[in-house]
Chains A and B, each alone.
Chain A
Amino acid sequence: MNEQADRRAPLWIVGIFSSVIWGAGQLLNKQFLKGFIFFCIFAGSIAVEILTGNYGSMPHGFSLRENGGFFLKGVWGLVTLGTQPRKMGITGLTEGDHSIVLMVNGIIAVMVIAILLFFYIWNIRDAVNGRKRIIQTGVWQTSTEYFKKLWESMYAYIVLSPSILLLLFVSLLPIVFGVLIAFTDYTRNNIPPTKLIHWVGLDNFITVTQVFSWMHTFLGVLSWTIVWAILATVTTYFLGFFQAVLINSPRVKFKKLWRSIYILPWAIPGMVSALVFKSMFNGQFGPVSQFLVDIGLTSERIFWFTDPSNTTLARVMALIINLWLGFPYFMALIGGTLTNISDSYYEAARIDGATSGQMFWKITFPIVYKATAPLLTMSFVSNFNNFGVIYFLTGGGPANPNYNFAGSTDLLITWLYKLTLDNRLYNMGAVMSIIVFFIVGTFSLWNLRKSKTFEEL
């Protein structure tokens, strides 16, 4: 009789039960363990809020800052970024708000709230769906059966959980934080805990686009970054291609020996090579300048990377050295593709009387290009963000007095480094990061759109 009545309890009642008290709907469905677990999550998060807060003493009434717990104070902190800075007193720093700590705690609180919201909706939907099944089939599924099924479908999540945790807290959380910093006044003049940070809306973006010196620097650095990325990719690709074709030629003996020599720059850690070149081309003490003076080619030493009157020299040198560093990868890659091209193509072409130049441009090049095109995009992106070569080789120099904190060979990524680490203009650095992300992201997505991967998704 009772069971009969329960079965007739409509869907929405169960839903409302679960939406008011988590797990109550499951109780009506006689899934006691499941209901209890949902209830525990519900009670647990309330307990966390109460225990981490200060709900016992409220002499001045309730305030989020004084009394709020993990969730409420977290959200409060994220919204306000603190109201009272810490001050230097006789006994050291006074109690106060640390804007950055508040912000990070706030982001974590919001992330946890999002996860709880997910459980909350799951809880309601589960109660309603469970009831629906009972009405339709008349079978009462026990919690144990449910969990058995759940465990099987959970295997993928369990295996994935280390990845998810790492990505949430070491990748996503910092990215959210970094993006938020772009909308604040967090600079060297505003270092917590003795100063508070404030939300400034789009002010930093307006500064970059409206203030001439910033816009000038940004456009200058951006256009050089694009020129650099294109030239660095194209030169390494074609030299790699050229060497691969030469080694592959039937006229050449000891192919393995040549290949082992040319692969060296790829195998040596890039940072070491860049620092070695920086020393070789050191203007004052480096052997290359000295050699040129000794043989009488130049009358005085050449300051390869530091001569402000000759920025083109520094840029060309950086490209040449990047060529040294970068071509072996393409050479190895294209070498592999070349050996896979069937000889029958060339034989057919030879019978038709094609010259070797024609054979190269009509057969070899299209086949290799098709096989390596995706890697060209990847190479472009990695050159766009090629911190290593520029930072270690030129340090961004020669200095450019017209730029804000940037030199003539600085790429966006090295400028960003200087803005944040050397000059502690964290907010401007964050603005640049967002811009870099949009450029790289658009380019990658545009390229990916055509690929097989995207269709699979």
Chain B
Amino acid sequence: MNNKRKSHSGKWKTALIYLELIVMALVIIYPVIWIVGSSFGSSKGLANASAIPANPTLQNFKDLLTKTDFPLWYMNTLKVAFANMFFGVLISTLGAYAFSRFKFKGKRAGLLSILILQMFPTFLTAIAVYMLFLNFGLLNSLTGLIVVGVAAQLPYNLWLLKGYLDGISPSFDEAALIDGASRTQIFVRVILPLASPMLTFVAVTQFAAPWMDFILPKLLISSEEKKTVAIGLFSMISDETRNEFTLFAAGAVLVAVPIAALYIALQKYLINGLTAGGDKG
């Protein structure tokens, strides 16, 4: 009797849990379906956008790729993303290698100043960077965007990778040193492979940042042909009179799908990286 009631209430509990899970799943998925549906919608405006369009069409994607500068923005962002990833990983790993494995004068002061630099809102520096680039002729160039993009994340990445390398026993380095490897060889053959989980994290975040970064390109890029997708997408939606919501939807889908796929495929590395970053303040 008692057992029966227990299993009865257990069933109710299970049902309640499933109900919650389903409701949450709907709340999560609906906006996603809505924007994907809108991107296939046949009428341009926001008012007629719906999750299940009446006459689905690929026209929005066609228009986006042929009638707007979207492909150009996409290529620009792709270039910045790859350069950001390459230089970001290279420079921060080299620096972290020095901080983790060598004793030198100014190490403590260096680490502390990096920690303080990291607390400064990047935004404050953006205006100054704008003035600097004006002087050095880097304004309105993707190179400038890459330089700032790498520098902005550098303090965080340095601390993160330093912490990770500290956790790798130096006995691996010492063994290689006995075998006659130079310090650069040790870096390439020992440190890089061992640090690969954290390097994956740095690489993915550096790659993903330009797709979402708005402030810097907004400040540093003025011409249409150097725009990145973040600026382009924002301009499509901020002007309500232009009535091109479905174009925005198509663009949003094209930006979100690859990044989301990347994040989901590498989620383990990303969550680990974020956790480690928090431990280091």
Contact = CB atoms under 8 A, between A and B. Distances in A.
Contacts of B277: 378
A163 B158 CA distance: 9
Contacts of A388: 212, 214
A248 B112 CA distance: 40
B41 to A, nearest CB: 12
B168 interface: no
A448 interface: yes
B260 interface: yes
A113 to B, nearest CB: 18
A436 B121 CA distance: 8
Interface of A: 100-101, 104, 153, 155-157, 159-160, 162-163, 166-167, 169-175, 177-178, 181, 243, 246-247, 249, 251-252, 258, 260-273, 275-280, 282, 285-287, 290, 324, 329, 332-333, 336, 372, 374-375, 377-378, 385, 387-388, 391-392, 413, 416-417, 420-421, 426, 429-430, 433-434, 436-437, 440-441, 444, 447-448, 451-454, 457
Contacts of A247: 21
Contacts of A280: 31, 34
A175 B46 contact: no
B175 interface: no
A252 B18 CA distance: 7
Pick the 4 closest A-B CB pairs, nearest first.
A174-B128, A433-B124, A267-B263, A170-B151
Contacts of B35: 276
A175 B124 contact: yes
A73 B280 CA distance: 43
A171 B230 contact: no
Interface stretch (B53-61, B67-75, B96-104, B194-202): B96-104
A377 B187 CA distance: 33
B28 A451 contact: no
Given A275-B252, A333-B274, 18 more contacts: A104-B132, A157-B98, A166-B151, A167-B114, A171-B152, A175-B117, A247-B21, A261-B25, A262-B25, A263-B267, A264-B32, A268-B256, A271-B230, A272-B252, A280-B34, A377-B281, A440-B121, A453-B163
A329 B278 CA distance: 13
B40 interface: no
Q: Which of B31, B123, B279 has the most CB of A within 10 A?
A: B123
Given A159-B97, A160-B94, A171-B151, A100 B131 contact: yes
B124 A178 contact: yes
Contacts of B163: 453
A249 B95 CA distance: 44
Given A280-B34, A374-B281, A269 B255 contact: yes
Q: Which of A159, A378, A441, A444 has the most CB of B within 10 A?
A: A159
Contacts of B131: 100, 104, 177
Contacts of B102: 155-156
Given A160-B95, A170-B148, A268-B256, A374 B279 contact: yes
Interface in B204-222: 208, 211-212, 214-215, 218-219
Nearest to B30: A280
Contact of A163 (B95, B125, B248, B274): B95
Contacts of B132: 104, 169, 173-174, 177
Contacts of B214: 271, 387-388, 391-392
B50 interface: yes
Nearest to A273: B31
6 contacts: A104-B131, A160-B95, A160-B98, A251-B14, A264-B260, A444-B281
B65 interface: no
Contacts of B127: 174, 178, 181, 420, 426, 429
A333 B275 CA distance: 8
Interface in B67-116: 91-92, 94-95, 97-99, 102-104, 107-108, 110-112, 114-116
Interface in B109-146: 110-112, 114-117, 119-121, 123-129, 131-132, 135
A397 to B, nearest CB: 13
B27 interface: yes
B226 to A, nearest CB: 18
B21 A252 contact: yes
Interface of B: 10, 13-14, 17-18, 20-21, 24-25, 27-29, 31-32, 34-35, 45-47, 49-50, 91-92, 94-95, 97-99, 102-104, 107-108, 110-112, 114-117, 119-121, 123-129, 131-132, 135, 147-148, 150-152, 154-155, 158, 163, 183, 187, 208, 211-212, 214-215, 218-219, 230, 233-234, 237, 240, 245, 248, 252, 255-256, 259-261, 263-264, 267, 271, 274-275, 277-281
Contacts of B24: 243, 262
Contacts of B215: 387, 417
B117 A171 contact: yes
Contacts of B211: 269
B250 to A, nearest CB: 12
Given A252-B17, A269-B256, A440-B119, A167 B151 contact: yes
Contact of B34 (A173, A251, A287, A392): A287
A434 B92 CA distance: 27
Contacts of B108: 457
B264 A267 contact: yes
Contacts of A336: 271, 275
A441 B118 CA distance: 9
Contacts of A243: 24
Given A166-B91, A268-B260, A272-B252, A451 B281 contact: yes
Contacts of B45: 285
A231 to B, nearest CB: 19
Contact of B119 (A167, A249, A441): A441
Nearest to B31: A276
Contact of B92 (A163, A178, A276, A421): A163
Q: Which of B29, B98, B215, B277 has the most CB of A within 10 A?
A: B98
Contact of B28 (A265, A290, A426, A454): A265
Given A100-B131, A421-B219, A261 B123 contact: no
Contacts of A451: 279-281
Q: Which of A178, A268, A269 has the most CB of B within 10 A?
A: A269
A260 to B, nearest CB: 7
A121 B187 CA distance: 33
A162 B117 contact: no
Contacts of A170: 125, 129, 147-148, 151-152
A119 B192 CA distance: 34
